[in-house]
Amino acid sequence: MTHMLRSTSSLPLVLALLAPRAALAQEQAVLAEPAQLLVRLCADCHDGEAAERGLDLLALTAESNAQDPLASTRLALAVQRLRSRTMPPPDEAQPSDAERHALITYLAARAPEVEGERLATLRRLTRVQIERSVRDLFGLAWSASELLPEDATAHGFPGIGDVQNLSPLHFEKLLEAADSIAALVLSNTAARALVFEDDAPLAMHLPVFLARVWRRPVGSREAASFAESFEELRSAGVPRATVERGLLRAIFASPHFLYRVEVGRAEAPAELTAHELAARLSFLLRSSTPDEELRARADDGSLLRREVLVAEALRLVRLDGARRFAEDFAAQWLSLRDVLQANADFRRYPQIWNGALRPALLEQGLRFCSAIVEENRSVLELLDSDSTFVDATLAKHYGLPPIEGGFQRVALPDRTRGGVLGMGAVLFSTSYPLRTSPVRRGKWILEKLLDAPPPPPPANVTALPPDDQQPDGLTLRQRLERHRQERACAGCHVQMDSLGFALENYDVLGLWRDQVNGAPVDALGTLIDGTPVDGPLALREELLRRSDEFVRAFAKNLLVAGIGREMTLRDEPALAAIVAQTRSSGDRFSALLEAVVTSPLFTRRDPGAP
């Protein structure tokens, strides 16, 4: 009996010791398949000393490559080639989509981990984030456009610390902006009362105000220095209005307000604090400081629980019908605002005289993106949908049945207008004034929807004519075929042109057409992997077939905007997990958002730390 008791009591310990080994064996079994795929699909060209372009993939994926300083660059090239479907070459055996994704994740997981590589650079608030923070803190409208320079962008978004240089002039502008905010607050009785109560000592309620503005707990000692300076100046006879304005200017010019500081928890620096996580969440979904409810979840620490984090994310993004999310994230990701600067030759496209057209095209995109979030629809509706949003201007523009009043959802008679590829905001902004551009449109699809951007064009690239009506009589397709004969151009154009040609039924302004310059529209293209795509409906089907890539592109852009850095190879396995979780839940927006905000990529300050 004693022996039985000892054996039984030690069973949990034995299981605990064996569990890691079992998990390791399972992981090795899972990874064996992509390893075999690598041998089957890539070894003929990328193995040994004679490997093509020196890219020995079998050596790169061996354990001995862990300290190879060039491994990450070479593996990144291989992943880029797999994602763009230029590897394996079209004349070789092709992996299935699932096999291709498995290979990408397998190669990415073998990139060496570089300490601190996945830490985001300190980020300064953008103009929009400062404006929205002032509005949400005080209920006052304040504009930064006249005071602060435009924000630099990187990886598709503003507010990326890597490109936020601070010149002496910019520093002076930030001080002017802080003074302008201070003056605005003091001019409003209700707003001023949030900071100054004439009958109460400043030191009593200043910590609460600073915590709201600086997005973190502020102790009485830290606030005391402001209160002491305030009282000293008042005692010296400085007018109260002057001292109040100076105090507010100092608060809003402080790095604690202007910068999003992430230092991690004292006991675990790689982990975000609850308040740092709250700021990430709020600035991603609202472009603003955390509201009172979110701050309460950060104050009591409950935001660190998965279910609370998910609930707060869904609450925040829908606060205003997802309008801010559409304006500040979706419009930036899909470049929807580019339509406001797009132009067309008025002699060929007289509709451009309608001053309501460009704003209506932008509004259509914003309302469509908002509805996907607000109604928790499938994110794949961005690729294909049986309805859209139009007002009277757009109904007439697209040839849809006339409507009365402002914007409303309308059922589409066919799929030619479904999703973003049927929207004038995308089609117009990727055209030239006198002709469409299959190159621009194909590049937009690769960059925005598939996250497979082509390399930049060579410096001496030959420019195509700005008009598709030329004396030589060549069509745009014929001209591009000549262009692809230039060796430096062929590699990129073979990826872009076929995608863009599938949209040739849409003219410069996004109107449907069956002829171009008197000839039938030729919307046939052959993708780099040999897949024929004839027209916009076939293109939609092809993109839906590559839904995993689209969901990954959506998730990656959310993470870049939320974290403030580009994704690295080491992030690919976590991205793959987000895609799998989203797809298993029917591709609903709520599933994608939950997978993103609960991923270690979002919840950890340094995902690469042990």
pLDDT band at 62 (very low <50, low <70, confident <90, very high): confident
Give pLDDT, residue 489.
56
pLDDT band at 54 (very low <50, low <70, confident <90, very high): confident
Beta strands in 2-85 (DSSP E): none
Q: Would the pLDDT of 422 be above 50?
A: yes
pLDDT in tens, 158-175: 999 999 999 999 999 999
202: three-class secondary structure by DSSP? helix
Q: Which of 443-447, 452-456, 531-535 is predicted with the least confidence, judged by mean pLDDT?
A: 452-456
Q: Would the pLDDT of 463 be above 80?
A: no
Give pLDDT, residue 69.
67
65 vs 425, more confident:
425
Give pLDDT, residue 57.
86
Calculate mean pLDDT across residues 143-164: 95
Q: Would the pLDDT of 8 be above 60?
A: no
pLDDT in tens, 204-248: 889 999 999 999 999 888 999 999 999 999 999 999 999 999 999
pLDDT in tens, 336-353: 999 999 999 999 999 999
Output the CA torsion 9→10→13→15 (10° steps). -100
pLDDT band at 115 (very low <50, low <70, confident <90, very high): confident
pLDDT in tens, 11-32: 333 333 333 344 434 444 444 4
Share of the chain above pLDDT 70, in %: 92
Beta strands in 284-363 (DSSP E): none
Catalogue the long-range contacts made by 184-187 (C-beta closer than 8 Å, 24 or more residues apart): 184/134, 184/138, 184/140, 184/142, 185/138, 185/140, 185/248, 186/241, 186/244, 186/245, 186/248
pLDDT in tens, 385-403: 999 999 999 999 999 999 9
**Paired tokens of 27:** 């992981």
Calculate mean pLDDT across residues 460-488: 77
Q: What is the C-alpha separation between 371 and 321, in angstroms, rounded?
A: 8
For 307, residues 6+ apart whose C-beta sits below 8 A from its C-beta are none
Give pLDDT, residue 11.
34
| Residue 36: how many other CB atoms lie within 10 Å | 10
Note if the bond before 88 is cis, omega within 30 degrees: yes
Q: pTM for this structure?
A: 0.92
pLDDT in tens, 260-319: 999 999 999 999 999 999 999 999 999 999 999 999 999 999 999 999 999 999 999 999
Q: Would the pLDDT of 102 be above 80?
A: yes
Output the CA torsion 18→24→25→30 (10° steps). 150
For 606, residues 6+ apart whose C-beta sits below 8 A from its C-beta are 116, 118, 119, 264, 269, 270
Give pLDDT, residue 31.
42
pLDDT in tens, 476-530: 888 877 766 665 555 566 778 889 999 999 999 999 999 999 999 999 988 888 8
Residue ranges of domains in the chain: 20-109, 123-260, 352-545
